[in-house]
Amino acid sequence: MDITSITEEILQRIRPTDKERAFVNDLMNELEKLAGETIEKLGLDVKPHFVGSLAKDTFLTGDHDIDLFLAFPLETPLEELREKGLELGKAIAERLDSHEVAYAEHPYVRATYRGVKVDLVPCYDVESWRDVRTAVDRSILHTRWVNENLKGRNDEVRLLKRFLKGVGAYGSEIYVRGFSGYLAEVLIVEYGPFLNVLRNADLILRKKIIDPGNWLKREYETAMNTIRREAGEDRPLIVIDPIDPRRNVSANLDWEKYGRFYFKAQAFLENPSREFFFPQKPKMGDYLGELRRKGTHLVTLTFYKPDLIDDILLPQLERSARGFEKALTREGFGVLGWDVGYSGGKAFIMLEVDRIERGRIMIKPGPEFFTERAADFYRKNERVWLRGKRLYAEKRVKENIADVIPELLEKNRVALGKGVRERIKVVEVLVDYVPKGMAREAYLLLSRKKGGLKD
Amino acid sequence: MDITSITEEILQRIRPTDKERAFVNDLMNELEKLAGETIEKLGLDVKPHFVGSLAKDTFLTGDHDIDLFLAFPLETPLEELREKGLELGKAIAERLDSHEVAYAEHPYVRATYRGVKVDLVPCYDVESWRDVRTAVDRSILHTRWVNENLKGRNDEVRLLKRFLKGVGAYGSEIYVRGFSGYLAEVLIVEYGPFLNVLRNADLILRKKIIDPGNWLKREYETAMNTIRREAGEDRPLIVIDPIDPRRNVSANLDWEKYGRFYFKAQAFLENPSREFFFPQKPKMGDYLGELRRKGTHLVTLTFYKPDLIDDILLPQLERSARGFEKALTREGFGVLGWDVGYSGGKAFIMLEVDRIERGRIMIKPGPEFFTERAADFYRKNERVWLRGKRLYAEKRVKENIADVIPELLEKNRVALGKGVRERIKVVEVLVDYVPKGMAREAYLLLSRKKGGLKD
């Protein structure tokens, strides 16, 4: 199948239908009216703005959450904005189907109306980056910029977003670190259409700096500061936000996710198929069979899941997994891979290791011989020797990983995520066996189907 | 037993007897006469000089090799010195019992006479460091400096030398890297008597720079260059040679050997005994029992011993052992210790490892994803994934160390000493077993009796 037939077919699947579009437009009109009435009733000086992919007409079919921003004048004190903003949100939401208060930098209202999620977010009515006071203030400017610059390439954004989702590189959440929707839009504006962005995956990485707002001409010092800061953080890309020279649009994109895009873009261009956009779920297999075939072992730590949202929990589980990787490597176990998640009220950290029994004796590095601690080390250990400046000794250690892990935890030798630290005190260590609810994850980890570049 | 009784008793054992001294003096007088006659007969302008511990009267009983240096005028061209020096040495040696030609920076004659080894070494008759042209030229100046500065503390040098021998820190050979005799003499001159040097083991290390010749006043720039150079090499001590500001007397002393001296000095002062000077040979034990007790494994590589002197062979075997340590660690085997040596025509490298079987699967780090080699890596490997910028893949590997070692050698993955590289191509890998001639070494390695700080 040729590449255009494929993208055309994909577009049929992801482009909102006329009916859907009419429904959404209806909804937005209704909400705008409702908001206007409520603002008037409360005697406020607030402008309602639709932002996000609906307002930019870059949403994928079925994915139509509404973001209604309530813009207060710049003179409003922050306290007042928080208070009145929430009050206004609640007043609007009371006329919708249901709602609750959610918390980001400041509180906002999450409502549902006719089956659609509606976020009612107070913000400042900014005209320029110099006015930006809270994290959400840029959204109105983003929406305006995209609408002014996209020039009808909305479907190209849809293709790119769907491609990024398909290859597992979409989502700017902290535990994903992929491409954001806005980044996809900027890339289409700069390098579109869709296929061109794919073709330029290597060029984009090499250029490194994308400056659609021409800030390097208009605000040289500010833009250079952004570049220096972000280069210092070793980001794969530095996309200076066209509406704010202080911000890197791709600050949350990591090398791994760019790498996935990079490889998959090449693979798609060489051998196009629908699979890139809508991959089949990996066929399930038997994790015990994988273990037998590979001769490796699976160590699973389970403990009660802390009551945290994914945005917080998953990065902390990942941090803890890396902590175990480091600690176990130091202890003589080779860690081949890991995964984290939760299932049925239990959080888990899975580690693929090369052995579960190690030798009884390990070498313990001591202090340098001329330090104060050296005399102590010399006295306390039986077999002591020098290598270079440092003292070494033999130490007897626990052999089985199921004994080593609790010991490491007890002695505080594992760097753990904050939210995990308490719960993991009551840990269960499962070796070469997982509960049914985790069997799928175990298989995906061992077979490298999760996170692998080849399917 | 108190410390003075011990040192007194040791002195009785190591101080040359009057009879020995008379014999040696006789010998030296005879040699001097013989040399004088030969020089006259050959019509040469050469002065014979005795150097070394005999000439300085710091030799231990029984240890009386004679160094007779034949000093040519400074104007002599180097070629002529080599030629005439060898001729003169041979002419003298012909009147002794036996001799052969040995090679250092230039050739010299090793003779024996009445059971004593006599080295006949040509050199320049230097008066100052500015005249020094060959490595041996300083010896005459060293001998003179010690004789002028030791002030009767000859027995203190003997004690220090014997102590250093006893604790395994004596010898400036490249494969020992311990204290030289001259360094011991300088330390006694600066910090003597013997017990004081021991008491100052920590102070000496902290001062770091010893300058008995006052070169920092007399030749500031030259001395500072020496200090800078040697500090750059991270030497434990910088002892500016009292007869040459360009030289660090302790350039060949490494941290480990200073550390042995440091610990043993403290231990002796706290708990004096004769053992420090004349340690008992470690009691032999059963290496197989050690292996069982420790749960570790012994891998011994044997191959035909290259025909090299110890000075060359041993450092190269050590280099190779370190090469194996690195390579095996990279391959997932934990190396706890190693030793090298030879026995019965076979050289050996022994490695104590934590296991002899590893897993079938290892993680192979690949190139960064945006490099040219990345596409190749991606194509060639089955399971590929990203971590940060880098590609990784699983690889199937040999499991037994007896298969891994030949493979590492074949693929040139071990840094080997030059003189060893060819011979090791025909290697035998012995696991948990050594030939009888190596059983002692195996036990000493596994029990940490060799090189250990505690006995």
> Using alpha carbons only, how large is chain B's radius of gyration in Å?
27
Residues of A in contact with B369 (CB under 8 A): 255, 259, 262-263
- Chain A to chain B, count of Cβ pairs less than 8 Å apart? 135
- Tokens representing B372 are 């040219």
Give the pLDDT confidence of A63-120 residue by residue, as tens digits.
888 999 999 999 999 999 999 999 999 999 999 999 898 887 788 999 999 989 999 9
Signed CA dihedral, B203, B265, B179, B111: sign only: positive
A260 contacts chain B (CB < 8 A): yes
Distance from CA of B332 to the nearest CA of A (A): 7
Task: Give domain status of residue B388, yes or no.
Answer: no
Residue among B360, B388, B391 minimizing CB distance to A295: B360
What digits encode the pLDDT tens for the residues A127-147?
Answer: 999 999 888 899 999 999 999
A452–chain B Cβ distance below 8 A for any pair: yes
Give the pLDDT confidence score for residue A455 in this predicted structure: 66
pLDDT at residue number B103: 81
Element (H, E) at B223: helix B220-232
Cβ-Cβ contacts under 8 Å, A378 against chain B? 263, 453-454
Q: Distance from B270 to chain A by nearest Cα, in Å? A: 13
Instruction: Note whether B226 and B245 are within 8 A (CB).
Output: yes
Last residue of one domain, picked from the residues B114, B136, B158: B136
B75 & B168 share domain? no
Closest by CA position to B265, among listed B318, B199, B176, B364: B199
In a domain, A282, yes or no: no
User: Do residues A192 and A155 touch, judged by C-beta distance below 8 A?
Assistant: no
Option in B255, B382, B448 nearest A383 (CB): B448
Q: In the structure, what pLDDT confidence band is assigned to residue B231 with cuts at 50, 70 and 90?
A: very high
Give tens-digit pLDDT for A18-71: 999 999 999 999 999 999 999 999 999 999 999 999 999 999 998 888 999 999
Average pLDDT value over all residues in chain A? 93
Q: What are phi and psi of A63, to 5 degrees?
A: -105, 65
Instruction: Report pLDDT digits (tens) over B157-172.
Output: 999 999 999 999 999 8
Of A332, A358, A369, the CB nearest to B259: A369
Residue A300 has pLDDT above 70, yes or no: yes
- Scan residues 303-332 of B and list those with Cβ closer than 8 Å to A: 332
Candidates B202, B178, B176; CA nearest to B191 is B202
B192 and B126 in a common domain: no
Is A145 inside a domain boundary? no
* Residue B342 confidence (pLDDT): 94
Would the pLDDT of B195 be above 90? yes
ipTM of the complex: 0.84
Q: What is the CATH number of the domain that holds A261?
A: 1.10.1410.30
Strand pairing partners for B98?
B112
Whether the CB of B378 is below 8 Å from some CB of chain A: the reply is yes
Rounded distance, CA B230 to CA B224, Å?
10
- Alpha-carbon gap: A345 to the closest alpha carbon of chain B (Å): 29
Q: How many domains does chain A have?
A: 3
| Residues A23 and A134 reside in one and the same domain | yes
* Same domain assignment for residues B164 and B121: no
Residue holding tokens 């080779």? A334
What mean pLDDT do residues B240-269 have? Answer: 95
Predicted pLDDT of residue B134: 86
User: Quick check: A369 and B451 CB within 8 A?
Assistant: no
Specify the residue for token string 């977010």.
A121
* C-alpha distances in Å from residue B293, one per residue of A71, A439, B316, B455: 76, 39, 32, 18
Q: Report CA-CA distances (Å) from A49 to A24, A98, A112, A139, A263.
A: 15, 21, 18, 10, 38
- For A152-191, write each residue's pLDDT tens digit: 999 999 999 999 999 999 998 888 899 999 999 999 999 9
- The chain B residue lying nearest A256, using CA atoms, is B388
CATH of the domain at A430: 3.30.70.590
How confident is the model over B198-222, as a mean pLDDT? 95
Nearest to A159 by CA among A60, A63, A239: A60
pLDDT of A241-298, one tens digit each?
999 999 999 999 999 999 999 999 999 999 999 999 999 887 888 999 999 999 999 9
Residue of A260, A336, A358 lying closest to B361 (CB–CB): A336
Q: Is residue A369 part of a domain?
A: no
B354 touches chain A (CB under 8 A): yes
Answer whether residue B66 is part of any domain.
Answer: yes
Q: What proportion of chain A, given as a percentage, has pLDDT over 70? A: 100
Which residue in B has a C-alpha nearest to residue A290's C-alpha?
Answer: B361
Chain B interface includes A382 (CB < 8 A): yes
**Do B294 and B425 fall into the same domain?**
yes
Q: CB–CB of B407/B398 below 8 Å? A: yes
**Nearest-CA distance from A243 to chain B in Å?**
29
Dist. CA A339–CA A350, nearest whole Å: 5
Same domain, B171 and B269: yes
Are A386 and B453 inside 8 Å of each other by CB?
Answer: yes
Helical ranges in B44-199 per DSSP H: 52-55, 78-93, 138-149, 154-166, 181-191, 194-199
Given CB atoms, is A437 within the 8 Å cutoff of chain B?
no
CA-to-CA dists, residue B432 to A227, B296, B303, angstroms: 59, 9, 17
Alpha-carbon distance B190 to A384, whole Å? Answer: 31
Has residue B271 got a pLDDT over 90? yes
CA A303 to chain B, closest CA, distance in angstroms equals: 27
Bridge-partner residues for A357, per DSSP?
A400
User: What pLDDT, on a 0 to 100 scale, did the predictor assign at position A344?
Assistant: 85
Close Cβ partners of A80 (under 8 Å, ≥ 6 residues apart): A72
CATH of the domain at B52: 3.30.460.10
A385 touches chain B (CB under 8 A): yes
Structural contact between residues B377 and B389, judged by C-beta atoms closer than 8 angstroms: no
User: Looking at the structure, do residues A339 and A440 belong to the same domain, yes or no?
Assistant: yes
Contact call for B256 and A387, based on CB within 8 A: yes
Task: Look at residue A365 and tell me if it is in a domain.
Answer: no
Question: Which chain A residues contact residue B387 at CB under 8 A?
Answer: 256
Asked if B254's CB is within 8 angstroms of A385's CB, the reply is no
Q: How far apart are CA B266 and CA A343, in angstroms?
A: 60
For residues B169 and B272, state if they share a domain. Answer: yes
Contact of B190 with B200, CB cutoff 8 Å: no
Interior CA angle at B360 toward B354 and B365, to 5°?
90
- Chain A environment of B362 (Cβ under 8 Å): 334, 336, 354
* pLDDT (0 to 100) of residue B172: 87
pLDDT in tens, B178-192: 999 999 999 999 998
Of A255, A362, A363, the CB nearest to B388: A255
Give contacts of B206 with chain A, Cβ < 8 Å: 370
Domain boundary, last residue among A139, A165, A191: A139
Dist CA A141 CA A149 (whole Å):
12
**Band of residue B455 on the pLDDT scale cut at 50, 70, 90:** low
Rounded-to-integer distance, Cα A42 and Cα A346, Å: 47
Q: Are residues A124 and A20 part of one domain?
A: yes
A76 domain-assigned = yes
Kindly list the distances between the CA atom of residue A349 and the CA atoms of A284, A343, A434, B264, in Å, as whole numbers in the listed order: 20, 11, 11, 49
Say which of A334, A336, A453 has its CB closest to residue B384.
A453
Q: Are A334 and A351 in contact (CB under 8 A)?
A: no
User: Is residue A379 in some structural domain?
Assistant: no
Distance between CA atoms of residues B123 and B84, nearest Å: 11
Using the Cβ of B287 and the Cβ atoms of chain A, whether some distance falls under 8 Å is answered with: no
- Whether residues B80 and B191 share a domain: the answer is no
Provide, as residue numbers in chain B, all residues whose Cβ is less than 8 Å from the Cβ of A295.
Answer: 359-361, 399
Hey, are the CB atoms on A451 and B384 less than 8 Å from each other? no
> Of A334, A326, A351, which Cα lies nearest the Cα of B333?
A334
3-state secondary structure of B155: helix
CA distance, residue A195 to nearest chain B CA (Å): 19
Compute chain A's Rg from CA coordinates.
27
- In chain A, residues 189-248 whose CB comes closer than 8 Å to chain B: 202, 205-206
Give the pLDDT confidence score for residue B419 in this predicted structure: 83
Of the residues A139, A160, A193, which one is the last residue of a structural domain? A139
Range of the domain at B80: 7-136
User: How far apart are the C-alpha atoms of A169 and A192, rounded to whole Å?
Assistant: 18
Please indicate, yes or no, whether residues B321 and B431 belong to a single structural domain of this protein.
Answer: yes
How many angstroms away from the CA of B228 is the closest CA of chain A? 20
- Which pLDDT belongs to residue A172? 87
Q: Are the beta carbons of B388 and A362 separated by less than 8 Å?
A: no
Same domain, A107 and A7: yes
Helices (H), A301-433: 310-330, 372-380, 401-410, 418-421
* pLDDT value, residue A223: 96
Distance of residue A200 Cα from the nearest chain B Cα, in angstroms: 13
pLDDT in tens, B295-346: 999 999 999 999 888 888 999 999 999 999 999 999 989 999 999 999 989 9
Q: How many CB atoms lie within 10 A of CB A249?
A: 25
pLDDT tier, A1 (very low <50, low <70, confident <90, very high otherwise): confident
pLDDT tens digits for A316-335?
Answer: 999 999 999 999 999 989 99
Contact list in B for residue A384 (CB cut-off 8 A) is: 452-454
